[in-house]
Amino acid sequence: MNVLSLFDGMSCGQIALNRLGIKYDNYFASEIKKHAIEVTQDNFPNTIQLGDIKKIKAKDLPRIDLILAGSPCQDFSRGNKDRDGLKGQKSSLFYEFYRLFKECNPKHYILENVIMPDADYEYLSRLMETYPVRINSSKVSAQLRDRLYWTNIGEEYRDLFNFRYSNIPQPIDKQQSLQDILTSGYTDKQKSRCLLTNTGAVRTNKESLLHRYKTTGMITIVFEKEDLSMESIRTFNKIEMERLQTVPENYTKILDVNKASDVLGDGWTVDVICHILSKLFYFD
């Protein structure tokens, strides 16, 4: 089996394939972020890096059996006040994915993105010829991460107009709490908020950290004292962020915490991808 991973990041799709024991002959990756590529090659040195998606053509590749992609979400995100969607500079790269998707015509595919406005959701679903399955990473991790997955893997059902809906069941809830994954310290949250690219950034200004925690809710903090006093607080360390994304511990060992946060925040929750890919066994 040949796999093409677009916007591969640190290769969470490859972690999932290996975790499931799914064999593949070649894993082609399209990524441009230098430290993401470095992490991938450190863990999977046989990965074939192709670089910029805009320069890749299907005619230069062997038959592709599985495409994995998480096209940029920034212009769809509810955290972006403009929400330019597919007109945005980053999220418009979806069209490069779609070009290769049509050129390669893979047997299987997974496309991931964030919860988005109805018009974009409908448009992408019509192009992909399926409505997605919606899975929150909270089912398999200590993190709230609500995402859409367009795929032709697994169960389906058809509406009265014969349009396909992905009917992959929800993962079994592992009921993992945030406290369970901390290497030290305490939390007042059952789950972490969604991991972002700057979640683990080292912040010396505690007042700013507390302000974001109490007002915007855009960050989760860890209390070093059991009484949850504010004088000793921190952001997540690398091991904790890896656990939140269900990535193997020390996967990002070659990076400092800021760069690790960047690639982990961009990545997938691996056990969600495992859940979807596990349905391959029923059809192949």
Domains of the chain (ranges, CATH numbers): 2-175+269-282 (3.40.50.150), 178-263 (no CATH)
SS3 assignment, position 90: coil
Q: What percent of the chain has pLDDT over 70?
A: 89
Distances from the Cα of 136 to the Cα of 75, 119, 151, angstroms: 20, 21, 16
Q: What is the Cα–Cα distance from 179 to 160, expressed in whole angstroms?
A: 46
Look at 62-66, 81-85, 249-253 and tell me which has the smallest mean pLDDT: 81-85
Neighbours of 79 (CB within 10 A): 13
Q: Is the pLDDT of residue 208 over 80?
A: no
Element (H, E) at 148: strand 146-151
Which tokens in the block code for residue 64? 């592709």
Entry pTM? 0.92
Which tokens in the block code for residue 60? 């230069």
Which tokens in the block code for residue 219? 């960050």
Q: What is the Cα–Cα distance from 62 to 85, expressed in whole angstroms?
A: 32
Q: What is the mean pLDDT of the chain?
A: 90
